[in-house]
Amino acid sequence: MEVSNFVLLALTGILAASVPLALVWTATGTNKYRKLAWVIAFFTFDLIVFGGFTRLTDSGLGCPDWPGCYGEANPFLAHAHIAAAEALMPTGPVTTMKAWIEMIHRFLAMGIGFMIVGLMAASWLEWRRARARAGKPAHGPLLPTVMFLWVCVQGAFGAWTVTMKLQPIIVTLHLLFGLTLLALAVWLGGREDKLMAPPRFSPVAAPVSVLRRLRPLAWLAGAVLLVQLALGGWVSTNYATLACSDFPLCNGQIVPEMDWQHGFTLWRELGKTAAGHYLPFSALTAIHWVHRNFALVVVLVLGYTAWRAWRLPGLHGTARNLALVLAAQATTGIATVFLNFPLPIAVLHNAGAAGLVLLVTMLNYKVQYQLELALRSPRREAATSASHP
């Protein structure tokens, strides 16, 4: 890729970031850092949903090189190459529409990357100012720096997704890293915003013992969700969504014929076994069947977690939303099979997965935050009583 095209591509990414950055800068209020953190979370959610749309429309190779499109900065400049490829194979991986879908996905990713650079720079500048005046920085630079390093890794996996021709393990990790970036952004937003007004803690309002029992349960919900996201990504990247054509049975059986070895061999080409042969349909059935059945575990664990958090002050809204999104996610998953994989339902299912990550992260943050306040509150009361006998 020529330097001029690379510069033009970078300018496009800066332009994508400039609009939300300008909105944050001109917004009312003083805490623009917090607003930028939530804007990054919002656009990361959008990127994940659009990435799902890119994958579901088979647009991942709409531009078969990286970071540009046939060495150009956008599909306009690469029109001749795209038209030639489309004429050669009209239903192939390269069409004008698919090229634009893929490049819009990349432009949005670059915009988020530049926003994270701005967030990290702001946090380090604040840290230097605080150090100069021997004070505590208002915004710690560690988490924004981790986000910056993470988005760099995510960009590398985005490149490998294209150059390694949609190898399933690479695409699945690309999805998981994107969801992790969303979790980091939400946690940062929660830390800056506190997500709630500090409640008054009392043994009745928010018992420390209840919060202590809820915290490992919230962690478990996150771990179970992570496993299901990996399984769901493996289903999507192997195109195994319709390997089971009915529900609740799978091809008319409770336990259908399944090829576990080839289905869960991680390092292999798309549609091939590790030996280079075509992947048998029974391998796709195994991939789908495991994801479908582990969904029951997810519903039970996340549903129980939401029920336990529902009755606690400051957690009711998040628990309610978690229960609603969980129910919607199960519904879209079943509808995808019954309706023979319609694109809007499949995109909603991807959005639901991102929504669960957002809500489980928020719940974990709120439980941690409330527990810390609850543990500090008795000490403050004891200190106040000691100073005012």
- H/E stretch holding 359: helix 343-387
Q: Decide: helix, strand or coil at residue 151.
A: helix
CA angle, residues 80, 82, 85, in degrees to nearest 5: 110
Spell out the residues 6+ positions from residue 222 whose beta carbon is closer than 8 angstroms to its own.
360, 361, 364
Which residue out of 2, 72, 86, 102 is catalytically annotated?
A: 102
Q: Which tokens hold the place of 187?
A: 């946690």
2-11, long-range: CB < 8 A, 24+ apart: 2/71, 5/68, 5/71, 5/72, 5/73, 5/77, 6/67, 6/68, 6/73, 8/73, 8/74, 9/67, 9/68, 9/73, 9/74, 9/110, 10/110
> Contact at 8 Å (CB) between 337 and 247?
yes
Residue 186: CB atoms within 10 Å: 26
Residue 42: CB atoms within 10 Å: 17
Residues composing the chain: 389
Cα distance between residue 159 and residue 170, in whole Å: 10
126 counts as catalytic = no
Spell out the residues 6+ positions from residue 311 whose beta carbon is closer than 8 angstroms to its own.
none
> Contact at 8 Å (CB) between 251 and 328?
no
Q: Which residues are catalytic?
A: 102
